[in-house]
Amino acid sequence: MSMKYGLFWSALCLSFGIFLYGSLPLYEGIAAAAVFFVLPALAAIKITHKKEAVLILCGAFFISLCGMGRMHLADEVWKAQSSWALHAEGTYTAVVTEPPVVNREGEGYARYTAELRDIRYKDGTEKPLKGFAYVYETNPKEIYGPGVKLSVKGEMTPIRIYDNPGKIDLESRYRSRRIIGRIYTEDEKSVRSLGDSGEYRAEKAAELIKGKVMDTFAPYMDPVRLHIMMTLLFGGSYNEIPESVMSSFSATGIVHILSVSGSHVALLFGFLYFLGKWMHLPKKLVIGGAIILVLFYSGLAGFVPPVLRAAIMGILSVAGLFFDREKTAVNILGAAVTGMLLWDPFFLFDVSFQLSVGASAGILIFYKPLLYFFKRFPRLPVQVREGTALSTAAQVFTMPIVLYDFHVFPLFFIPANLIVTPFLEWVIIAGLMASVIALIFTPLAAGILYVSDYLLWAGIRMNQWMSGWPKASIGIGGLNAAETACYYITVAFLYFREKILASKIWRRIFMLILPLSTAIVIILWISAPSTYVLVPELGPDQGAVLVKDGRKILYYKSGSLASRTSVWEWNSLLGYEGIFAADILLLNLEDAKNPIPLSMTIPIKEIWVTGGDPEKICRELLAGQQAHVRMIQGGSAKVDDMIFRTNGSSWLVSFDEAGVLFSGNKLLTDTKYPPGLFWMAGSRKQADSLTEEEVSAIHPEAAVYAGSRLTKSYEDAEIFEYMGIPAANVYEDGMRTAVFREKWELKGKGLWR
């Protein structure tokens, strides 16, 4: 642990302590930190007899304890919020804290983030409140901005977070913002304004300025591209951007440019720097003025935590390159990370923070080595070498994070950054210039906007063209803990290889951990079961994935209430588990009365439907698939060594003296169940619970309830427990995996992830 990057290492140790507190009980976390730092310190005393190494490791242990202590304080603040008010019905007084999210499609709504002040119950009793909540107003006639005090009539309900792996950590984000619940209103009279509270003036001023900028731009730009321009400049307003545009930016790996990120700050910083250099202004004056303007720009973008982090990371990254002082910039980055984590340790679990820090650290550490490597290709233009080195450096630390949260890797991120990004960067610069020039000379601003509109059109078209290339994004799935550790160990070895090979101790350490981590990954791959079932938590819906010798059978049963959240969770899980194609989708529509928002992001060969008409209920699904669709009322079919049976409600898939029962509203009768059976239950409409006779007739080796949080599902669990059958309820236990090795066994949230 070199002290060349002392502040950076301190930030890592602080992060380690915060992570331990969030992952383990307090005393187990302290013990883990002691094992990680104190034992190496004792080994250092015996091997090297150097007090310096011991002091460094003990200092790292102390900083980790500080991280755990800071996380404990943050946890206490969260517990002090008024969670007791959940499920309380009355009239809430709250203040809007930021611009609302407005959706005007279908049954439109406005979602306000509001700071709670008090609640008045029906009997007139009032109680003060602490915390924030989302307030949903259906078909709003008036939109309220930051600082407006609202009277909201309704019931506050908890925010339900589905316990599935491989997605953004929303729970920590809500805790960071102290959002304790949601308030859904019944009609337009349930929300009314109580006037200006006099608070959140900065947010109100920023929204006013952005509104005036948009009004200035509107006469000179295409309406759709106007919203994209405003998103490029200030972030937000993603619901105003066509889905096809968002998908194309995700496929090429440059979706970050649609939110205010470190690249925006770096672009603005660089433009102002070179402008000052062209005007022969002193370097310190230019950089100081640029930092002030960058902070002002961040204020316009809302100064919410992601924007604040982007401003700090962008300033530090660019300053490090301009000053040509790698050590100083990396240490300042470490100091900034330490400061932000001390301010709010929940930042550590926020994906935007992880990507900002990872990209900034990657640029500062790997940009110059990669640029030196690309000098071996002198025929490449300098701009191409620099752009490739910069884009690649930003990916080094962030790739495992991207794969965990988004599951695909954009194959063409380098050409997209080299070709499309320059167009959009000039659009951003032109937009900012037009915003200022419009105050002085409107015709010149209009000309700039006309040109930027064409540039934006060209950038969007080129990006959509590139996103349509074969394998524009490669589905990889999320990395498990062993794969992630092996990846970072390999990166560390490649970067420090000269120092490692020159040191006898470090050479021995890496000769041990690098082959060991690689061997663990290989063993996990080899020992992975060939037959298993994944049962995620999908709220009112049910879903499962049966994998048998590489073949993938999907089961999905829609609940009576349409849920886009369930669909999003379903597709996210498929991506995380590396399932990017399926053989058969068993689709149960017996509870769906209205069109459902089910869509699939992967190709499916065949769709077998029971219980409803997919042409009426699943239009979104069929619009994006070329699968052969079959309507099935009952019967059986054999596909290879798998036998499918259904009564138009439940499905039984049998193979090799084993099988999986997907329970519908009606159980299969007059059917001989295989001896090794896994039962996915929870769909029955009968008011009565299961009986011992029914369970004995099916006699599963394991069972999982999905799509049911009713009391009877817990009563059924008691029967399974009494009969010695392992059972779980995903509503209570989160996603579960059933693995077949001679018999079915229930596991945690994944095979070995």
Of the listed ranges 183-192, 262-271, 332-341, 408-417, the least confidently predicted one is: 262-271
Same domain as 344, residue 373: yes
The model's confidence at residue 25, banded by pLDDT at 50, 70 and 90, is confident
Of the listed ranges 1-10, 316-325, 371-380, 597-606, the least confidently predicted one is: 316-325
The model's confidence at residue 711, banded by pLDDT at 50, 70 and 90, is very low
Same domain as 536, residue 520: no
So what's the pLDDT on residue 155? 92
Same domain as 740, residue 676: yes
Each residue of 366-402: pLDDT tens digit? 888 888 888 888 888 887 788 888 888 888 888 898 8
In a domain, residue 341? The reply is yes
Q: How many domains does the chain have?
A: 5
Of the listed ranges 462-471, 523-532, 553-562, 742-751, the least confidently predicted one is: 742-751
Of the candidates 572, 569, 403, the residue with the CA atom closest to the CA atom of residue 478: 403
Q: What percent of the chain has pLDDT over 90?
A: 24
In a domain, residue 753? The reply is no
So what's the pLDDT on residue 621? 81
Domain boundary among 435, 460, 475: 475
Same domain as 29, residue 136: no
Q: Which long-range contacts (CB under 8 A, 24 or more apart) does 172-176 make?
A: 172/22, 172/346, 172/348, 172/349, 172/350, 173/346, 173/349, 173/350, 175/74, 175/78, 175/346, 176/305, 176/344, 176/346, 176/347, 176/350
Res 532 pLDDT > 90: yes
State the average pLDDT for the chain: 83
So what's the pLDDT on residue 416? 81
Tell me the average pLDDT across 515-529.
90
Res 685 pLDDT > 70: no
So what's the pLDDT on residue 193? 92
Each residue of 556-581: pLDDT tens digit? 998 877 778 888 899 999 999 989 99
Please give the residue that has the higher pLDDT: either 23 or 573: 573
Same domain as 311, residue 223: yes
Res 497 pLDDT > 90: no
Same domain as 508, residue 413: no
Same domain as 54, residue 179: no
Please give the residue that has the higher pLDDT: either 346 or 294: 346
The model's confidence at residue 687, banded by pLDDT at 50, 70 and 90, is very low
Tell me the average pLDDT across 656-662.
89
Each residue of 467-484: pLDDT tens digit? 888 877 788 888 888 899
In a domain, residue 354? The reply is yes
H helices of 378-531, in order, are 382-396, 399-406, 413-415, 421-437, 442-467, 481-495, 497-502, 504-527
- Please state, in angstroms and as integers, the Cα–Cα distance from residue 670 to each residue in 293, 649, 701, following that order: 76, 14, 20
Tell me the average pLDDT across 244-259.
79
So what's the pLDDT on residue 39? 65
Residue 134 belongs to domain with CATH number:
2.40.50
Provide CB contacts within 8 A for 735, sequence distance 6+: 163, 164, 165, 534, 535, 536, 537, 573, 749, 750
Domain boundary among 169, 199, 229: 199
Report strand pairing: 702-705 vs 676-681.
parallel
Res 152 pLDDT > 70: yes
Domain boundary among 454, 475, 496: 475
Please give the residue that has the higher pLDDT: either 517 or 385: 517
In a domain, residue 752? The reply is no
So what's the pLDDT on residue 46? 60
So what's the pLDDT on residue 360? 81
Query: What is the C-alpha to C-alpha distance for residues 231 and 417, in angstroms, rounded to an integer?
Result: 18
In a domain, residue 47? The reply is yes
Please name the residue that has the structure tokens 């009494």: 722
Under 8 Å between Cβ of 230 and 214: yes
Please give the residue that has the higher pLDDT: either 302 or 618: 618
In a domain, residue 237? The reply is yes
Under 8 Å between Cβ of 254 and 416: yes
Under 8 Å between Cβ of 164 and 537: yes
So what's the pLDDT on residue 272? 74
Residue 660 belongs to domain with CATH number:
3.60.15.10
In a domain, residue 111? The reply is yes
In a domain, residue 614? The reply is yes
Same domain as 136, residue 36: no
Under 8 Å between Cβ of 705 and 544: no
Please name the residue that has the structure tokens 């720097």: 273
Same domain as 508, residue 447: no
Residue 147 exposure: Cα atoms within 13 Å on the Cβ side: 13
Q: How far apart are the first and last CA of the chain?
A: 29
H helices of 48-200, in order, are 51-79, 170-177
The model's confidence at residue 241, banded by pLDDT at 50, 70 and 90, is confident
Provide CB contacts within 8 A for 249, sequence distance 6+: 255, 257, 258, 463, 467
Full domain range(s) for residue 565: 531-747
Res 451 pLDDT > 60: yes
Res 692 pLDDT > 80: no
Same domain as 244, residue 216: yes
Query: Rounded to the nearest 5°, which phi and psi values hold at 681?
Result: -110, -175
So what's the pLDDT on residue 186? 79
Question: Can you give the pTM of this predicted structure?
Answer: 0.84
Same domain as 224, residue 151: no
Same domain as 178, residue 68: no
